[in-house]
Amino acid sequence: MEIGKINKLTVARRTDNGCYLEDENENEVLLPNAYVTDDLKISDEIEVFVYKDSEDRIVASTLRPYIQFEEFAYLQVKEVNDYGAFIDWGLPKDLMVPFAEQTVKMLEGNWYLIFLLEDTETERLIGSNKIKDFLFFKDIDVKEGDEVDLLLYEMTELGMNAVVNNLYKGLIFKSDIHKTIKPGDKIKGFIKQVREDGKIDIILEPAGYTKSVDQNTEIIISALKESDGFLNITDKNTPDEIKSILGLSKKAFKKAIGKLYKEKKIELNEKGIKLLEQ
């Protein structure tokens, strides 16, 4: 049984206070009545989050927290008092970030990147904003071109900082940001390069994607100019029709049209594509 994580446990017995669940080693934890449903039976398997409640008792909950043990999450401060900042992590008992684990003075209502760990002295789960302490800068096991999971957390003068695969520090340079993103977003990205210092450059599309889309948008713009600013073609046309008119696959056509539309270079209607004045 792992504290701070989702565990799959078996219903062992019922009591007045709830159901006791056990793992394969017969370790037990109470699932309080507030989380016990009428259809829950002895020997049923159930996924629960195991943690310490406000009285430091190990309990189970069917609620899914926003963060688990040794993970990062972008969370909001609910309250600040003499003990530290208290974070909303999706459970009745707020998560404390002690002052010693804050890199800046946390303010009520603000959002921060948090790492969930165990306080070695109290054995309680706590949060930390000392992000660099929990990221790896050596033995990086991703390489150029790999698809990765990103948690975005801070926009800087260079670009957007991100946690990569819950392990590494990544940066999406401003010049490589071609869509709306914000801190807290969980998205996919691709490794552009791994630097010697262990930091990673990230792009949001596979290598070569942006270049190919730009080439295709130029083809469409040229075709529009040659047709007096209008093409009688939409995404309802067949792939063969699009290929014969523009020389593009339907997939490439739709990507290029989407980019031109976002850049407000074209107008789309049910009849076709209109070039806007530049």
Of 252 and 74, the one with more pLDDT: 74
| Number of domains the chain contains | 4
Residue that terminates a domain, selected from 203, 228, 243: 203
Rounded to the nearest integer, the mean pLDDT of the chain is 91
Q: Are residues 221 and 269 in the same domain?
A: yes
What are 10-35's pLDDT values in tens digits? 999 999 999 999 999 999 999 999 99
pLDDT of residue 270: 85
Residue 142 forms part of a structural domain: no
pLDDT of residue 212: 62
**Does the pLDDT at position 265 exceed 80?**
yes
* pLDDT (average), residues 123-145: 93
pLDDT band at 116, cuts 50/70/90? very high
Helix axes 250-262, 239-246, angle to 10 degrees: 70
Residue 140 forms part of a structural domain: no
**Does the pLDDT at position 118 exceed 70?**
yes
Residue 139 forms part of a structural domain: no
Q: Are residues 31 and 87 in the same domain?
A: no
What are 63-114's pLDDT values in tens digits? 999 999 999 999 999 999 999 999 999 998 899 999 999 999 999 999 999 9
Question: For position 18, which CATH number holds?
Answer: 2.40.50.140
Question: For position 271, which CATH number holds?
Answer: 1.10.10.10
Burial class (CB within 10 angstroms; exposed 0-12, middle 13-18, buried 19+) of 109? exposed
* pLDDT (average), residues 205-227: 78
Of 127 and 277, the one with more pLDDT: 127
Domain that holds residue 119: 72-132
pLDDT of residue 173: 93
Residue 34 forms part of a structural domain: yes
Q: Are residues 213 and 271 in the same domain?
A: yes
Residue 166 forms part of a structural domain: yes
**Does the pLDDT at position 175 exceed 90?**
no
Residue 137 forms part of a structural domain: no
**pTM (2 decimals)?**
0.74
Residue 109 forms part of a structural domain: yes
Q: Are residues 216 and 268 in the same domain?
A: yes
Residue 262 forms part of a structural domain: yes
